[in-house]
Amino acid sequence: MVENERLKQELRRCEVELQELRAQPAVRCPGCEHSQESTQLRDKLSQLQLEVVENKGMLSELNLEVQQKTDRLAEVELRLKDCLAEKAQEEERLSRRLRDSHETIASLRAQSPPVKYVIKTVEVESSKTKQALSESQARNQHLQEQVAMQRQVLKEMEQQLQSSNQLTAQLRAQIAMYEAELERAHGQMLEEMQSLEEDKNRAIEEAFARAQVEMKAVHENLAGVRTNLLTLQPALRTLTNDYNGLKRQVRGFPLLLQEALRSVRAEIGQAIEEVNSNNQELLRKYRRELQLRKKCHNELVRLKGNIRVIARVRPVTKEDGEGPEATNAVTFDPDDDSIIHLLHKGKPVSFELDKVFSPWASQQDVFQEVQALITSCIDGFNVCIFAYGQTGAGKTYTMEGTPENPGINQRALQLLFSEVQEKASDWQYNITVSAAEIYNEALRDLLGKEPQEKLEIRLCPDGSGQLYVPGLTEFQVQSVDDINKVFEFGYTNRTTEFTNLNEHSSRSHALLIVTVRGVDCSTGLRTTGKLNLVDLAGSERVGKSGAEGSRLREAQHINRSLSALGDVIAALRSRQGHVPFRNSKLTYLLQDSLSGDSKTLMVVQVSPVEKNTSETLYSLKFAERVRSVELGPGSRRTELGSWSSQEHLEWEPACQTLQPATRAHSAPGSGTSSRPGSIRRKLQPSA
């Protein structure tokens, strides 16, 4: 540090000198000794400056060194302090040990003498030696332990070495074995390789030979193909030509097809047109034929009369009894089947009707007569067939018949079915049936759920003037089975309703109404025909004295309705302007089927036996009158007048009040009792 201080001072002095020198003006005097001196000084200065720099570096180094040394000094001092502390501790420890030792010695002294000797010896030794000894002992102990440990380790190592030696020997033996095997495998491999090589060479040789043969064949084939190709080329050329031709044709085909289609279409159209016109022609002809047929039918009916009356005489039955009362009183004309002779009270009376059936006539014979009427129903005509006559004369037998031998009702329906079936290709038909009863001027539905309910006859609300019965049951029927079911149902209804059916049915009118509705499939023309099959109440007259109460009332009702029926038929046949349909339920209900171009057939049933001749006479008179109305316009009124006034007035006083309408519409006739009918008169020369 002193050196340093000196150098600093010298530096400061040098700087001062330098400043002074700089302050002096520059003197240029070459060769002058001052300038040389100055140069020397300058050099010296720069040298000194360099020295200063060097010294400064040295100074800083020294400073650093000083610093380091100071640090080390501090460290040494610290260590010294630690050592001192350690020393104090050690001293402490030693003194403690010493104390312990003293205590031990004291305790040992208290023990046996040999021990005392040792203690003495120990006491002789200096404490230093004691310490060294104990340290060396400790070290010795430690070394011994280490030696023992090393020995142990050595022993283990030897064992390991030994086992590894064994392992090595084993491995060596294995290696030797593997090597031997390897050697053997190598030998085998070499052998195999050699044999494979041989095989390969052989195969190659064979393949080569085969390939050569094949090659030869291929060459031959190739030659053949070449020649073939040469011959095929012209064929290919022609094929190509053909193909091109076809292609051209195909291109033109749609046009050709269109043309063909057009011509075919035109042909078909023409054919259709022809067929159409043919059809039209046929249809026209058909319609004309239809009209013609209807006209012919009408003409036929007109010729026969729209209202026809036939008689049927039943055979004598067991019920007629025996004796003179049961003898036969009816005979027939063998040449004319429209004449019937009756022996009444010994006098023969003859009647002419449209047809007379003898007792031998079968149900089929009778049906044959009415068949045309029934078929006209299919053409849309309304038809009424009445069975008239006294009770027991055979009305029900003719209309209903027996199960084995059915009457008009069932046969008519069967005929309708078969006719409809025949026309099924052109027409579609729907057949329905209703059954009703008129008793004491009350109309009842026999097929309804409540047969006791009274039905009303009403005008159709559509303004057509047609009548209908609201609530009257209509059953559609398609087979005989259906009809049987309907009849059975009606019969059951009637039997449950009335305890004495026979008696009841003879006092009521039973109606079976069959409606046939048809549609012409080609023209759409619709027809509706109604067939009314009526089993009238018994026409027998009840004696004035014998009739009382309900029986009288029944008789009056029957009489009134039958008179009304006679009036209506008479009015229709004489083509009167007013027809008294409303005078009874029966005629009112049948109004549609009695008027217009409707057809009516009255079957007058006759009992042939003696005891019934007066009723038979009455029935035949009624029949002839109905029929004779048509004889001529002049005579009609007279005929009608005489009928109403004569027959019914025979017992009319009793029921006069009930029949104002009937009489009102009967012409106020002559009241004469002369029997009309030129034929009858002609046939009765003896009367």
Interface residues with ligand ADP (CB under 6 A) are 314-315, 317, 389, 391-397, 506, 605
Q: Which is nearer to Mg ion, 382 or 410 (CB)?
A: 410
Closest listed residue to residue 630, CA positions, set 370, 300, 307: 307
User: Which option in ligand ADP, Mg ion, none does residue 605 bind, with CB closer than 5 to 8 A by kind?
Assistant: ligand ADP
Task: Report in angstroms how near the CB of residue 612 gets to ligand ADP at its nearest.
Answer: 11
Q: Dig out the tokens for 185 from the structure.
A: 């495998």
User: Which option in ligand ADP, Mg ion, none does residue 397 bind, with CB closer than 5 to 8 A by kind?
Assistant: ligand ADP
User: Which option in Mg ion, ligand ADP, none does residue 317 bind, with CB closer than 5 to 8 A by kind?
Assistant: ligand ADP
Please name the residue ranges forming H helices in 110-126.
Answer: 113-124
Q: Which is nearer to ligand ADP, 401 or 677 (CB)?
A: 401
Q: Count of alpha carbons within 13 Å of 218, Cβ hemisphere only?
A: 6
Task: Report in angstroms how near the CB of residue 652 gets to Mg ion at its nearest.
Answer: 25
Residue least distant from Mg ion (Cβ): 396
Q: Which is nearer to ligand ADP, 348 or 359 (CB)?
A: 359
Mapping DSSP to helix (H, G, I), strand (E, B) and coil, where does residue 528 land?
strand
Phi, psi of 14 (to 5 degrees): -60, -40
Q: Dig out the tokens for 448 from the structure.
A: 């309804």
Tell whether residue 389 is among the known ligand binding residues.
yes
Sign of the torsion angle spanned by Cα atoms 359, 364, 367, 372 = negative
Task: Report in angstroms how near the CB of residue 395 gets to ligand ADP at its nearest.
Answer: 3
Task: Report in angstroms how near the CB of residue 391 gets to ligand ADP at its nearest.
Answer: 4
Mapping DSSP to helix (H, G, I), strand (E, B) and coil, where does residue 293 land?
helix
Q: Which is nearer to ligand ADP, 306 or 396 (CB)?
A: 396
User: Which option in Mg ion, ligand ADP, none does residue 574 bind, with CB closer than 5 to 8 A by kind?
Assistant: none
Q: For strand 509-520 and strand 526-535, is the pairing parallel, antiparallel, or unpaired?
A: antiparallel
Q: Which is nearer to ligand ADP, 615 or 639 (CB)?
A: 615
| 361 to 400: interface string for Mg ion, x by CB under 5 A | ----------------------------------xx----
User: Which option in Mg ion, ligand ADP, none does residue 612 bind, with CB closer than 5 to 8 A by kind?
Assistant: none
User: Which option in ligand ADP, Mg ion, none does residue 676 bind, with CB closer than 5 to 8 A by kind?
Assistant: none
Tell whether residue 496 is among the known ligand binding residues.
no
Cβ atoms of 503 and 555 within 8 Å: the answer is no
| 506 to 545: interface string for Mg ion, x by CB under 5 A | ----------------------------------------
User: Which option in ligand ADP, Mg ion, none does residue 393 bind, with CB closer than 5 to 8 A by kind?
Assistant: ligand ADP
Mapping DSSP to helix (H, G, I), strand (E, B) and coil, where does residue 532 land?
strand
How big is the CA angle at 184 (ends 180 and 187), to the nearest 5 degrees?
140
Task: Report in angstroms how near the CB of residue 502 gets to ligand ADP at its nearest.
Answer: 8
Q: Which is nearer to ligand ADP, 388 or 417 (CB)?
A: 388
Specify the DSSP class assigned to residue 471: T
Q: Which is nearer to ligand ADP, 506 or 576 (CB)?
A: 506
Q: For strand 599-606 and strand 383-388, is the pairing parallel, antiparallel, or unpaired?
A: parallel
Residues 346 and 439: their CA atoms lie apart, in Å, by: 37
Closest listed residue to residue 560, CA positions, set 446, 664, 404: 664
Task: Report in angstroms how near the CB of residue 399 gets to ligand ADP at its nearest.
Answer: 8
Closest listed residue to residue 314, CA positions, set 261, 268, 361: 361
User: Which option in ligand ADP, Mg ion, none does residue 389 bind, with CB closer than 5 to 8 A by kind?
Assistant: ligand ADP
Given the structure tokens 């030693």, which residue do they identify?
A: 94
Task: Report in angstroms how near the CB of residue 397 gets to ligand ADP at its nearest.
Answer: 3
Task: Report in angstroms how near the CB of residue 317 gets to ligand ADP at its nearest.
Answer: 5
For residue 651, how many other CB atoms are within 10 A of its CB?
Answer: 16
Cβ atoms of 328 and 316 within 8 Å: the answer is yes
Q: Which is nearer to Mg ion, 396 or 600 (CB)?
A: 396
Tell whether residue 393 is among the known ligand binding residues.
yes
Q: Which is nearer to Mg ion, 376 or 398 (CB)?
A: 398
End-to-end CA distance of the chain: 209
User: Which option in ligand ADP, Mg ion, none does residue 394 bind, with CB closer than 5 to 8 A by kind?
Assistant: ligand ADP
Q: Which is nearer to Mg ion, 308 or 494 (CB)?
A: 494
Q: Which is nearer to ligand ADP, 101 or 327 (CB)?
A: 327
User: Which option in ligand ADP, Mg ion, none does residue 515 bind, with CB closer than 5 to 8 A by kind?
Assistant: none
Q: Dig out the tokens for 517 from the structure.
A: 């509705």
Residues 200 and 526: their CA atoms lie apart, in Å, by: 107
Tell whether residue 394 is among the known ligand binding residues.
yes
Residues 516 and 527: their CA atoms lie apart, in Å, by: 8
Task: Report in angstroms how near the CB of residue 364 gets to ligand ADP at its nearest.
Answer: 12
Cβ atoms of 383 and 392 within 8 Å: the answer is no
User: Which option in ligand ADP, Mg ion, none does residue 541 bind, with CB closer than 5 to 8 A by kind?
Assistant: none
Task: Report in angstroms how near the CB of residue 432 gets to Mg ion at its nearest.
Answer: 25
Residues 580 and 588: their CA atoms lie apart, in Å, by: 9
How big is the CA angle at 400 (ends 397 and 406), to the nearest 5 degrees?
90
User: Which option in ligand ADP, Mg ion, none does residue 608 bind, with CB closer than 5 to 8 A by kind?
Assistant: none
Site for Mg ion in 309-338 (CB under 5 A): none
Tell whether residue 291 is among the known ligand binding residues.
no
Residues 369 and 307: their CA atoms lie apart, in Å, by: 13
For residue 432, how many other CB atoms are within 10 A of its CB?
Answer: 15
Q: By rule CB under 5 A, what count of residues binds Mg ion?
A: 2
Residues 656 and 659: their CA atoms lie apart, in Å, by: 5
Q: Dig out the tokens for 112 from the structure.
A: 């046996």
Q: Which is nearer to ligand ADP, 317 or 528 (CB)?
A: 317
Q: Which is nearer to ligand ADP, 351 or 397 (CB)?
A: 397
User: Which option in Mg ion, ligand ADP, none does residue 382 bind, with CB closer than 5 to 8 A by kind?
Assistant: none
Beta-carbon contacts of 556 under 8 Å, excluding residues fewer than 6 positions away, are 654, 655, 658, 659
Task: Report in angstroms how near the CB of residue 374 gets to ligand ADP at its nearest.
Answer: 20
Task: Report in angstroms how near the CB of residue 639 gets to ligand ADP at its nearest.
Answer: 26
Task: Report in angstroms how near the CB of residue 314 gets to ligand ADP at its nearest.
Answer: 3
Residues 65 and 60: their CA atoms lie apart, in Å, by: 8
Task: Name the strand (E) or helix (H) holding 560.
Answer: helix 549-573
As a three-state string, the secondary structure of 354-375 is CEEECCCCCHHHHHHHHHHHHH
Binding residue numbers for ATP: 389-396
Tell me which residues touch Mg ion (CB under 5 A): 395-396
Binding residue numbers: 389-396
